Structure 1
């Protein structure tokens, strides 16, 4: 009796194994043939699941994002109710996955360096747009942040903290930064509410 293969599950397994190869060697230095060898499959099998190395990479980023979304949901389910508590919970979660996030950031940089027109790719990629929208929705849903500028600031701060802990001699504390940002956001939201109330009166 032929073996039944769950193709979706097998595709995910290939993606997650490919992440380690990409993280170790960088996007640009790997070919599909080398990826197939590292994964222990034939090149034909890899092309059966992925059209190209770029296709594989983008689907890998999508799979990692979906994992992030699920973990944030669990993290927020156990977090407190106040904005400050929820911001601090997000920062603790990022800190717990710091090594993985650092690999993702550095790998993304490697990927964009390899592209001849990376800005066109970023602007034109439906997948990347969808992932960015997913992260924005997380901020809206779990932190109650509607202001797109605040959402961008939060994303930039978290990404910057991950990188700064690599390049700075002094480790920046995720906990202190989370507490500080929580206080700043609370003050901003309270002032925004007062301003809106005074405009209505």
Structure 2
């Protein structure tokens, strides 16, 4: 009797396993042949699921974003205040810091290999960005898209800063500062 394969599940498994391979060599340096070898599949099998390295990478980023959101929400619990929600978010980032370092470095490597206009018009990247910001805005209970963009950029900047500055920048301090700034800003917005 032939083996029954859930192709969608298998595709996701290949995606998730490819993250470490991209992380080890970088987007620019790794080939589809090396990815296939690292995954223990034939190059033909890999091309069956992903027509190119770029397609594989973009699907990986899309899947990682979905998983990041689901993992965070599963851990987040019920925080009542904005300050508590921000602290919970920062704790999640701190707990998964190495993973987020690797993810940011991969995105920068990918970006470096693309034409800027291609990146700006890439629908997958736009969707991933929008999905992450929408999830962040819903969790933090913020309706202002510009404010949600700011917080997401702040988080990515904080992750980048910690890659270079390490523990000299505290997640706890940054969490408190962000919470105080946002609380004051939102309070001022209500009075206008």
TM above 0.5, yes or no, is yes
1:40 and 2:40 aligned: yes
1:17 and 2:31 aligned: no
Q: CA deviation at 1:75?
A: 3.3
Task: Name the residue aligned to 1:168.
Answer: 165
Spell out the pairing of 1:1-201 with structure 2 (5 A cutoff): 1-76=1-76, 78-115=77-114, 117=115, 119-168=116-165, 170-195=167-192
User: In the superposition, relative to structure 1, how do residues 144 and 35 fare at CA in structure 2: closer, same or farther (>3 Å)?
Assistant: same
4+ runs of 1 displaced by more than 3 Å? Answer: none
What SS does structure 2 have at the residue aligned with 1:10? helix
Say how many residue pairs are matched: 192
Partners of 2:186 and 2:69 lie apart in 1 by 25
User: In the superposition, relative to structure 1, how do residues 45 and 54 fare at CA in structure 2: closer, same or farther (>3 Å)?
Assistant: same
Task: Name the residue aligned to 1:198.
Answer: none
* Deviations 1:46-84, CA, capped at 9 Å, x for gaps: 0000010000000000110010111232233x1321111
Unaligned runs of 5+ in 1: 196-201
Q: CA deviation at 1:107?
A: 0.5
Once superposed, what is the RMSD of the aligned Cα atoms?
A: 1.3
User: In the superposition, relative to structure 1, how do residues 178 and 79 fare at CA in structure 2: closer, same or farther (>3 Å)?
Assistant: farther
Query: With structure 2 as the length reference, what TM-score do the two structures score?
Result: 0.95
Is 1:79–1:89's contact at 8 Å kept on the other side of the alignment? no
Q: CA deviation at 1:17?
A: 1.1
Partners of 1:169 and 1:60 lie apart in 2 by 27
Query: With structure 1 as the length reference, what TM-score do the two structures score?
Result: 0.91
Deviates more, 1:56-65 or 1:171-180: 171-180
What SS does structure 2 have at the residue aligned with 1:30? coil
Deviates more, 1:157-166 or 1:56-65: 157-166
